[in-house]
Structures are given as structure tokens and as C-alpha cells.
Amino acid sequence: MGPVAIEERVSCGTAALGKQRYRVFIGKGLLKQLGARVRQHLDRKTCAIISDDNVAPLFAKQVRRSLVSAAFRPTLITTPAGEKSKTLEQAGAICDQMIAAGLDRQSFVIGLGGGVVGDLSGFVAAIYHRCIPHVQVPTTLLAMVDSSIGGKTGVNTRDGKNLIGAFHHPLLVIDDVEVLKTLPRREFDQGFAEIIKHAIIADARMFQTLQRWEAADAAALQRLIKRNIKIKSKIVAKDERDRTGERAILNFGHTVGHAIERAGDYRQFLHGEALSLGIIAACGISIKRAGLPRDQRDAIVDLLRRFGLPTRLPKNLSRDKIFDALKLDKKFEGGKIRFVVTSRIGSAHLSRDVTLEDIREAIEAL
Ligand SMILES: NC(=O)c1ccc[n+]([C@@H]2O[C@H](COP(=O)([O-])OP(=O)(O)OC[C@H]3O[C@@H](n4cnc5c(N)ncnc54)[C@H](O)[C@@H]3O)[C@@H](O)[C@H]2O)c1
Ligand SMILES: [Zn+2]
């Protein structure tokens, strides 16, 4: 189940986000049209293309050419690839380079890369001259189906992930599925953790589609991306600022997932891999606290395994380390635990009945 050859024409969806709507283009060969498409939405001249040092050598030239042909003046700014670049220091360094390049409040930012670049460039766009437009050009499956949608931007600190950030919706999202051809297999597969999460919390039919998923069906992949964008944007639209608890269901599997990611020092597991394990822990807790049938948990574990995602914790990873990392999670603010559980595939809700002991048990069972 690796990257696939993509056919199919451009399809365009609209992510509805409360008062704000923005367009998401999904299709093949869209990088070449990037300049023209952005031009339809922005009457500005200068921009920063923020990318990482894996993605920039692959696509920045094409993106730059397309922007120049639409009369934009882009400046390319590259960061080292990987989660370690999602820091305040890196955001500051990018801002300094933007100032040095003469970019001002009339400029805009293009984030060309995976979720790391998307979160970091979006954060920079949110704070530069107190907010300039952001165009998301996601280049990983995870970023297409998840991180480019919803307007959450931010960076990590020593103490945890995404502790500093801002809400800033993109002006436009351009998903050129051709870019996925160069994505390493492991990176491609991890995108399915977020897709499976979406199925568990909101779409039982998509869960069945995934159970029948065949590799290399290009049109199906585009439809799948579109469906996931719709699921996420619908949930976000109900609770854009993450205040009422409705948006929080997107965090299913993430409480333990983030702790695993941190315990592995952000090196041992990709985000989607840690999430896979976090989903299994959340299922264990859901059996106990929300009446999830065991056979549904088993079906979820099977599906994660089918997509090459981890379903067991390595023996040598200390469970205590994960448990310590967990307590730093934003969701434990004020000592209260709000944990997302599922009572059946296709639905999820926030529970206040889950105890730290339940979570410890679920981690120990992994
Ligand atoms: N803002 C949100 O709502 C949200 C949601 C989910 C995840 N996230 C964040 O997203 C991040 C994870 O995103 P990710 O998995 O895309 O990670 P990533 O951005 O680190 O990309 C993964 C790796 O693939 C490389 N890469 C990217 N596109 C490529 C391509 N087309 N060809 C070859 N290599 C390519 C990157 O250089 C990197 O090494 C995490 O920081 C997570 O917190 C944010
Ligand atoms: Zn995630």
C-alpha cells in the first residue's frame, strides 16, 4: 500500500468553517497551476515559500516558476526537515529572513510541505505583521487529510507539542496528489492513522471502505482525501476555536499518542504511528468507559495493522516515561481529564469519567 499513480481531474471542495470558507483544490498537476490559482484570490506581489530541506529540492523550483509566471515575487525559505523544526526559535528565524527579504504586511506565505511546515508556516503567517494570508500546499497524505484543514497552527516547546500557537485559517489549500509519489512509504502509511481516526469518530461507512481498500486505486485516493477534508471541516465548523468540546473529538487517540511521540523523543515514532497506538489505548478505555464492543476494537486494530501501522509498543520503551509525558498534555489543564471515547465505530464523545488509572492500564496493555 504505497504511493499510487494519480489520475482524475481537479476536484474542488469548500471547507466550511463558521463564518470563514476557503477553497480546497484536490487534483493532479496542481503545482503548475499554483500561481494562477493564488492570483485568483490575492492581489499581492511578494510572498515567502516556506518549505523544508527534503521538500524544497523536489518541488520548490516548480512552485517558484508558477508563482513568477503569475507575477508574484517569491522568496524561498527552507528549514531542516522534521518535528524538531517546529519551534519558536525556527519561527523567529523565518520571520527574520522574511524581514531581510523585504516582505511586509502586503506579502503572504505559502507553506510547501507536510504538517510540520504547515503548522510552522501558518504560525509565522499568523504573527508576521500581526497576520498575513497563508496558502497551504500540503505534500504529505497526513497534511492533506488533516493538518492543512482547520486553522490550527503552532510550534512545540520543550514541555510538549503545540503548546504555542494561533488559529489562522488558510486562504487556500492546494492538494496536488502527484507530490505523494515521492513520499516514503512509511510517511504515506502514517497518513492512514488520521484517516482511520476520522472513520472511528464520524464515518462508519468510510471504515468499511477502508476495510476493502485496494492499493493503487488513484481515483479512490482522491475521493478519500476529499471525504476526510469534509469530515474534519464539518467538525471544526461546529467549534472553530476548540471551546465547546465538539472539536475535541478530533483528538481521539491523541492523548496517549502525543505522550508516546514524546516518550520516543519525536524520533522513534512518526505522528501517525504514535497515534495508531494511542487509538488502541483509547479503544481499551472506550470498552471500559463507553461500552465499545470488543469486536469493534479488534476490527480497528486489524485495520491499523493492514495499513502498516504499529499496534504494539516496543518492549524496551518505558511505560512510565509515556505516563510522565502524558501529564504534561494540554488536556490535563487544571487536573481535569477530558478524554475522547467511542461507544461504536462512527461516533465519539468527550468523557469526564476516565481516570488516570484507566489511562495507565491502557498504556500497560499496549
Ligand atoms: N494543525 C493541525 O491541525 C495538525 C493536525 C495533525 C497533525 N499536525 C502536525 O503535523 C505534523 C506531522 O505532519 P507530517 O506527518 O506531514 O510530517 P512532516 O511535515 O515532518 O513530513 C514528513 C516527512 O516527509 C517529508 N516529505 C514531505 N512531503 C514529501 C514528499 N512529497 N516527498 C518526499 N518527502 C516528503 C518531510 O520532509 C518529512 O521528512 C506534526 O507536527 C503534527 O503535530 C497538525
Ligand atoms: Zn494527529
Contact 95, 70 (CB under 8 A): no
Atom of ligand 1 nearest to the CA of 119: 1
Q: What is the 3-state secondary structure (H, E, C) of 20-84?
A: EEEEEEEECCCHHHHHHHHHHHCCCCEEEEEEECCHHHHHHHHHHHHHHHCCCEEEEEEECCCHH
Ligand 1 pocket check: which of 134, 139, 235, 255 to mutate, most ligand atoms within 8 Å of Cβ?
Answer: 139
Give the number of C-alpha atoms closer than 13 A to the C-alpha of residue 264, restricted to the C-beta side.
20
| Residue to probe by mutation, ligand 1, list 28, 87, 120, 147, most atoms within 8 Å of CB | 147
pLDDT at residue number 321: 93
Which atom number of ligand 1 is nearest to the Cα of residue 162? 43
Ligand 2 center–CA 98 separation, angstroms = 29
pLDDT score at 80: 98
Closest ligand, as measured to the CA of 146? 1
| Ligand positioned closest to the Cα atom of 139 | 1
183 lines ligand 1 (CB under 6 A): yes
Q: Is the CB of 52 under 6 A from ligand 1?
A: yes
Closest CA to 258 of 149, 118, 127, 161: 161
Rounded-to-integer distance, Cα 172 and Cα 231, Å: 18
Residues present in the chain in total: 366
Provide the b/e sequence for 307-319 (b: ≥16 CB within 10 Å). Answer: bbbbeebeeeeee
C-alpha cell, 162: 503545540
Between CA 316 and CA 340 the distance in angstroms is 28
3-state DSSP call for residue 14?
strand
Q: Ligand 1 atom closest to Cα of 161?
A: 43
CA–CA separation, 150 vs 241, rounded Å?
9
- Characterize the bridge pairing of strands 347-351 and 134-138: unpaired
Please state the φ and ψ torsions of residue 170, each to the nearest 5 degrees.
-70, 155
Dihedral of the CA atoms 115, 117, 123, 127 (nearest 10)? -170
Q: Whose CA is nearest to atom 22 of ligand 1?
A: 114
Is the Cβ atom of 220 under 6 angstroms away from ligand 1? no
| Alpha carbon distances (Å) from 185 to 141, 221, 235, 355 | 11, 15, 29, 37
Atom nearest to 52 CA in ligand 1: 37
* Spatial separation of the C-alpha atoms in residues 225 and 206, rounded to whole Å: 11
pLDDT at res. 161: 82
Instruction: Specify the ligand 1 atom closest to the Cα of 53.
Output: 37
Strand pairing partners for 52? 79
Asked if residue 152 has its Cβ within 6 Å of ligand 1, the reply is: yes
Q: Any residues with CB less than 8 A from the CB of 121 and at least 6 apart, and which? A: 48, 50, 94, 109, 110, 111, 113, 134, 153
Predicted local confidence at residue 335, as pLDDT: 63
Q: Is 54 in the pocket of ligand 1 (CB under 6 A)?
A: yes
Give the number of whichever ligand sits closest to the CA of residue 160.
1
Q: From the CA of 194, how far away is ligand 2's center (Å)?
A: 6
Q: What secondary structure does DSSP assign to 219-264, as a single string?
A: HHHHHHHHHHHHHHHHHHHHSTTS-SSSGGGGGTTHHHHHHHHHHT
Give the pLDDT means over successive 10-residue stretches in the chain (366 positions).
Answer: 35 59 90 96 95 98 98 98 95 98 98 98 98 98 96 90 93 95 96 98 98 82 94 91 91 95 91 97 98 98 98 93 80 74 98 92 95
- Collapse the DSSP code of 120 into the 3-class scheme (helix H, G, I; strand E, B; otherwise coil) and give the result: helix
Q: From the CB of 189, is ligand 1 less than 6 Å away?
A: no
Q: Return the ligand 1 atom nearest residue 272 CA.
A: 15
The verdict on the CB of residue 81 being under 6 Å from ligand 1 is yes
Ligand 1 atom closest to the Cα of residue 58 is 32
346 C-beta closer than 6 A to ligand 1 = no
